[in-house]
Amino acid sequence: MLKDITFGQYYDATSVVHKCDPRVKILLMIAFIVLIFVSQNMFSLAFACVSVIFVLLISRVPIKLFLKNLKAIWVVLAFTAVINLFYSNTGKVLVSFWIVEITTGGVYRAVFMALRIILLIFISSVLTYTTTPNSLTDGIESLLSPLKYIGLKNAVHIFAMMMTIALRFIPTLIEEAEKIMNAQKARGADLENGSLVERVKALIPILIPLLISSVRRAYELAEAMECRCYNGGVGKTRMKQLTLSVSDLYAIIFIAVFTCGIIGLNIIF
């Protein structure tokens, strides 16, 4: 059951999107999200749709993986759509009962909002599918590095180190949790039956050993890091330098076109 947890769902392939610098990808994703919200009419949103689909296609990640992500949030999607359905009373009345009436304006709005959310999910999935957790961390560290000029000298490094270690230990801890669960099951623990409260209570004998062993691990890891001359990142260099390539230039040109398109269509219509 714990094996289903996927984290940093990287999909290995060779594409222009995969080759992009993580910093550029993070910035572009932020730009995309902002612009999707900026688009105000059907024309600019349609343009955004086309652009997002274009990005999905050139990323060479199977479309069904993106659709899988939608499945996880369909409740949110349906909820937003239904709420927006009643939100507007412009246009022709389609259905009317008791005090509610559904208008064409409402339907338009519901579709519009749902589409926006779908685009958001798609574009952020592109980032996680095409970037390894490690380069994502590197990208974040590099983007946050200006913070060191405002007195947060070590904070950026510590944050990146924490993320690296967390990513490294997720599979290890999942494995450990599974071992403990099996050990407790062998001792007669019942994790699957009973009421919700009972099942939550049954988790306590799993969480406590897991916590204790994590603390022990942390202690050993700290010693091992010390043995490898770690001193809080002072004077540290990096083996892999982040460098901008041609792919990044394409990405920047693309986002420039996209920005002009959205704003232009917003003004024209």
Partner 1 sequence: MDNIIEIKNVTYEYTEDEATHIAVKNLSLNIERGSFTVILGHNGSGKSTLAKMLNGLNKPTLGTILVDGINTLAEETEIEVKRRVGMVFQNPDNQLIASIVEEDVAFGPENLGLPPKEIRQRVDSALKAVGMEEFVSSTPHRLSGGQKQRIAIAGIIAMEPECLVLDEPTAMLDPKGRREIVDTLHKLNKEKGITVILITHYMEEAENADRVLVMNDGEIISDGKPHEVFQNVEMLKSVGLDVPQTTELLYALQKNGFKVNTNVISVTDTAREIKKVLEGV
Residues that bind partner 1 (CB under 8 A): 132-134, 164-165, 167-168, 171-172, 217, 220-221, 223-231, 235-241
Q: Tokens at residue 128, please?
A: 């996680």
Which amino acid, one-letter code, is at 243? T
Q: State the Cα–Cα distance between residues 249 and 5, nearest whole angstrom.
A: 35
Residue (201 or 216) nearer to partner 1, CB: 216
Q: Which is nearer to partner 1, 38 or 221 (CB)?
A: 221
Contact 247, 23 (CB under 8 A): no
Residue 3: CB minimum distance to partner 1, A: 13
Cβ closer to partner 1: 27 or 170?
Answer: 170
Q: How far is the CB of 229 from partner 1 (least distance, A)?
A: 4
In the bound complex, what is the minimum distance in angstroms from residue 228's beta carbon to partner 1?
4
CB of 103 to partner 1, least distance (A): 52
Q: Which is nearer to partner 1, 192 or 223 (CB)?
A: 223
Q: How far is CA 57 from CA 1, 234, 237, 243, in A?
A: 32, 43, 37, 25
Strand, coil or helix: what is 103?
Answer: strand
The CB-of-242 to partner 1 minimum distance in angstroms stands at 11
Three-state DSSP class for residue 256: helix
Q: How far apart are CA 90 and CA 75, in angstroms?
A: 26
Q: How far is the CB of 216 from partner 1 (least distance, A)?
A: 8
Q: Which lies closer to partner 1 via its Cβ, residue 37 or residue 230?
A: 230
Considering the complex, state which of residue 160 and residue 251 has its C-beta at the smaller distance from partner 1: 160
> What is the distance between the alpha carbons of residues 167 and 162, in angstroms, rounded to a whole number?
9
Sign, CA torsion 84/88/92/98: positive
